[in-house]
Structure 1
Amino acid sequence: MVDKNLSFSIPAKHCRGRAVRIGPVLDDILSAHNYPMQIKSLLAEAVCLTAMLGALLKEEESQLTLQAQTENGVINLLACDYRNGDVRGYVQFDAERLVREPLAPSLMALFGKGYLAITFDHPEPRGRSQGIVPLEGGSLAEAVQNYFMQSEQIPTVIRVALDLDGEHAMVGGLLVQHLPDGEEGKERLHVRMKHPEWEHVAIMGGSAQGEELVDPGLPLEDLLWRLFSESDEVRVLSGKPLIKGCRCNEEHIRDVIARFPKEDKEDMVSEDGTISIDCAFCSKKFIISGASLNN
């Protein structure tokens, strides 16, 4: 199984999209912690959404961050990000409360009155932009779809499917959007949420079956052509290879610590003369000698 990341466009319908199928990378991300099934399912969906949204970015140094802001929910923190093909994700949760929830808990049970923050970090001069939407609906995918429809005014269909029952985890996703001006990157004027050319594409995209999205025997290219090529040309391009992209290494950690004032760095040093740093994303621990830090 090879992780797949495709971009596609339907020029005649002024539509663009992304399709992903993630297996080995998802296994790596999920294996960092002993997550229960409810959390595995949530994180797998979030990783898929992050990969598709991140693939919309054009600049090499851009980053997409998907983060849940929770309020009295079982989940304390959900964070995923994408940069140049690197994907990572992590969930912090209340294990005692989770055991009292069903195997398929609602978003309200998991997050309470929570919000989803979607942040696009672009190189200057564009800088950062962020959209925040309530965590409402039946899934994270529905919440992200609502973000594009409400905050960005971009007609969007998103489908995500999971297969976590086998020896290896797999998630597949499809995102398709309508850009009325027919070209990415331009200002969208006079957007109509109901448009004849979009309605046809939305119906076809919404017809994608979950088993098709996670079927390793069905190439994603074939699925896209099956869905959209009946009456229109579909242009399909391979995107950047997806990898588990945790950026925790000793050099990076030393650089972060170096930004703190001398007094704060001294407070970080334990009795044995070291600073211990745990990476939540990959569950690695780094031990830094306090004496080796520049003051």
Structure 2
Amino acid sequence: MASQPETLSDQPLRFSIPARDARGRLVRLDSVLNEILSAHAYPPLVEKTLAEALVLTALLGTSLKDQGSQLTLQVQTEKGAIRLLACDYKDGALRGYAQFDAATVASLPHDSTLFGIFGTGYLAITFDRAKPASEGGGRYQGIVPLEGSCLSEASQNYFVQSEQIPTFIRAAVDHVDGRCVAGGILAQHLPEGEEGRERLHVRLDHPEWEHVEILAFTVLPEELADPELPLEEIVWRLFHEEDEVRVEQANKLTKGCRCDPAHIRDVIAKFPAEDRAEMADEAGDIVVDCEFCSRRFPVSLASFNN
């Protein structure tokens, strides 16, 4: 099979339908996704769940306009097969990891529901906007119960409950030629005059939104996760009867991990000397593990005496 054209994946696509007061984004993850997943030997069920979460993080993160802004998606439970799932997006860089109980995961079927995987838990989505709060920036976090059949539905519920924005979200995960491929779509209704979270008159039953939602609902999972199908083609298939549909490519996604040896050392240096001594192992190193990239960073205790 011919190698995948690099431009078809890892580059989100924005679209808008002005006459319907709707906008949205599409994303398909391939090379970036497999680079992130390769840091850990995840069981198939965990891999699939994390892949979906990374798609959702990319869909939400690409809404951020200001350099330095960050989107974080986190799922946490107490007794689930997956105890913690954390992903974030910043300036086009995507990262994520999952903590899980291997024995519990092994006992679950591959098509387990959201409740089967996580049990009772919550979904937290945090927007850290680089602008100060006085200019519409600052930090905003929404937390909702983990409800629905999958993470996509839980994220959709987040926008309805926490943001009061009519929203449609779907994601799909598949394997192609031995690699994991995942894609997703997000569509939202934003009545004319809205900007960010300063909403005017949002109606979940608005006729323009119902029209867009019905069309978006026809997207197929195999379309979202097909590495050979351009995202522009999906937009055309869904909305080609509209008078005007605008599309714009966002910046290409990269695998991001902000674990920097110099930064780690600077953080450790802020601790009192006696605390650093307690952190050190028998070899005299303070070892810091990065959950995202699965790397270990040893910092010599003796280096703080220089």
Q: Offset at 1:294?
A: 6.3
Q: Offset at 1:185?
A: 2.7
Aligned counterpart, 1:290: 301
Q: Determine if contact 2:115/2:149 at 8 Å carries over to the other structure.
A: no
Aligned counterpart, 1:168: 179
2:271 corresponds to 1:264: no
Alignment map for 1:1-295 (pairs within 5 Å): 1=4, 2=6, 3-123=10-130, 124-125=132-133, 126-164=137-175, 166-185=177-196, 187-293=198-304
Q: Residues 112-155 of structure 1, C-alpha deviation per residue, up to 9 Å, x if partnerless? A: 21000001111222321111111111100000000001110100
Specify the SS of the correspondent of 2:94.
strand
RMSD: 1.5
CA pair 293-240 structure 1, distance change in 2 beyond 3 A: farther
Q: For structure 1, list consecutive stretches of 5 or more residues without a partner in the other structure.
A: none
TM-score, length-scaled by structure 2: 0.92
1:7, 1:241 → 2: CA distance?
12
2:269, 2:117 → 1: CA distance?
37
Percent identity between the two aligned chains? 59
CA pair 174-294 structure 1, distance change in 2 beyond 3 A: farther
Q: For structure 2, list consecutive stretches of 5 or more residues without a partner in the other structure.
A: none
Match for 2:46: what amino acid? Answer: I
Q: Determine if contact 1:258/1:294 at 8 Å carries over to the other structure.
A: no
Q: Determine if contact 2:163/2:197 at 8 Å carries over to the other structure.
A: no
After the TM superposition, which segments of 4 or more aligned residues of structure 1 sit over 4 Å from their partners? none
Query: Which deviates more from structure 2 when the two are superposed, residues 185-194 or residues 110-119?
Result: 185-194
Q: How many residues align?
A: 295
Q: Offset at 1:260?
A: 2.4
Match for 1:104: what amino acid? Answer: D
Match for 1:143: what amino acid? Answer: A
1:88, 1:294 → 2: CA distance?
34
2:81, 2:305 → 1: CA distance?
41
1:38, 1:26 → 2: CA distance?
15
TM-score, length-scaled by structure 1: 0.96
Specify the SS of the correspondent of 1:198.
helix
2:14, 2:62 → 1: CA distance?
8
